[in-house]
Amino acid sequence: MKVATFVIIALFVLSSVALAVTPASQLPVKESQITEPGTLDGREGGETMADAWVIYALPFADTGNTCDNIHDYDEICPFTGSLSPDVVYAYDPPYDMCVSISLCDSYYDTKVYVYENVEGNVPLNGCNDDNFDCVNPPVSYTSWIPTVEFFAGNTYYIVVDGYGSGCGDYVLYMEEIDCPTPCDVICVGMPEGEPTCYDGYDDNFNGGCNSDPDIFSIHPISAGPITVCGESGVYDFGGLTYRDTDWYQIFPCGGSPISITVEAEFGVLFGFVTGIEDCLAPAFGDYTTAPMCTPTTVTSYLPYGPVAIFVSTDAWDPAYVCGVEYSLTVEGYTEHCDSTPVEDVTWSSIKALYR
């Protein structure tokens, strides 16, 4: 049974509404409205996809203010419930390409996402709320999609949005970039053991505080690093969109650093969740997000008590098909302080179990 118990990583519905819109190539434009690529000209995006402002070439730069617009769209990346006004741009790529879309230099708490042809069809990596890799942004919590793939023959709608009800001055910059190398995680370790998710899947394996009753994988203690080879993905359950969230319970004694390193075939959200006793008040301690195929480490001095290591996709993006893989390596978990014993393990015992 699905329950919404964890506010920070609660599971929300992705919009599936499709709008019939006029292709960007057919929208009227005056010659005087076309500027040199990459030149700021003070124009502003359209109110909706139907009247989106056309981008004719990259690089493209523009400024505007969203406060005189209305709220038309919203996507989850990872926060939902935005009532912010938004503006829309449209671009028809002349060939297959990868594009960077930045709102880093904007002056309010922004969000940016992309629709391919219709509302709700967000391409892989096509949504960002907060990107902390922005260099010296004028305010906190600005947005940047480092790379999203555009395919010729489609119209891409770039929506400049905000968090909550925020609005303000934005600076949009788009440019073509080299496409990243395809991501394929090769994991050597013990299998997570969970079945691959699917539409209608009910996660009663290690869904942690997102399952009813709550259920965790128990991570073994070890003098050396332990690697788990897991899977995640996004699926439909009862008409709602869910992520396969994996929760590995540990019971540290406190005082010693524990590190977790994750490399995934998807944009990943991972870290330590405290307050998992009875799942009444779970909350992230130290956590981070990472792009696909980018090994990233979080280290924390955890208190005494039960803690969950949490791994999932960073968005409710259907492009993260079930079965996308990750590698989770835990180091420093050498003592277990719960009254319930947990066996120490060695690589030889792991191989004996999973060969």
Q: Is the dihedral of CA 106, 108, 113, 118 positive or negative?
A: negative
Residue among 317, 314, 342 nearest 330 (CA): 342
Q: How much is the average pLDDT of 19-35?
A: 35
Domain membership of residue 70 (yes or no) is yes
Residues 199 and 345 in one domain: yes
Residues 319 and 223 in one domain: yes
Q: How much is the average pLDDT of 51-71?
A: 93
In this model, does residue 3 exceed pLDDT 70?
Answer: no
In this model, does residue 24 exceed pLDDT 70?
Answer: no
In this model, does residue 32 exceed pLDDT 50?
Answer: no
Total-model pTM: 0.60
In this model, does residue 8 exceed pLDDT 90?
Answer: no
Residues 274 and 338 in one domain: yes
Q: How confident is the model at residue 352 (pLDDT cuts 50, 70, 90)?
A: very low
The last residue of one of the domains, among 177, 211, 227, is: 177
Number of structural domains the chain divides into: 2
Percentage of the chain surpassing pLDDT 90?
67
**Tell me, what's the pLDDT at 22?**
32
For residue 326, give the H/E element and its range.
strand 324-331
Domain membership of residue 272 (yes or no) is yes
Tokens of 355: 């060969």
The last residue of one of the domains, among 128, 155, 177, is: 177
**Tell me, what's the pLDDT at 122?**
92
In this model, does residue 198 exceed pLDDT 60?
Answer: yes
> For all residues of the chain together, what is the average pLDDT?
84
Q: How much is the average pLDDT of 83-97?
A: 96
Grouping H, G, I as helix, E, B as strand and the rest as coil, residue 51 is: helix
Grouping H, G, I as helix, E, B as strand and the rest as coil, residue 289 is: strand
In this model, does residue 216 exceed pLDDT 70?
Answer: yes
Task: Find the domain containing 149 and state its range.
Answer: 24-177
In this model, does residue 300 exceed pLDDT 60?
Answer: yes
Instruction: List the CATH number of the domain containing 277.
Output: 2.60.120.380
Residues 335 and 266 in one domain: yes
Residue carrying structure tokens 């990596």: 125
Residues 148 and 228 in one domain: no
In this model, does residue 341 exceed pLDDT 60?
Answer: no
pLDDT tens-digit readout, 160-174: 999 999 999 999 999
Q: How much is the average pLDDT of 274-296?
A: 92
Q: How confident is the model at residue 14 (pLDDT cuts 50, 70, 90)?
A: very low
Q: How confident is the model at residue 90 (pLDDT cuts 50, 70, 90)?
A: very high
In this model, does residue 342 exceed pLDDT 80?
Answer: no
Rounded Cα–Cα distance for residues 33 and 41 (Å): 9
Residues 54 and 108 in one domain: yes
The C-alpha R_g of the chain, in whole angstroms, comes to 22
Rounded Cα–Cα distance for residues 31 and 22 (Å): 20
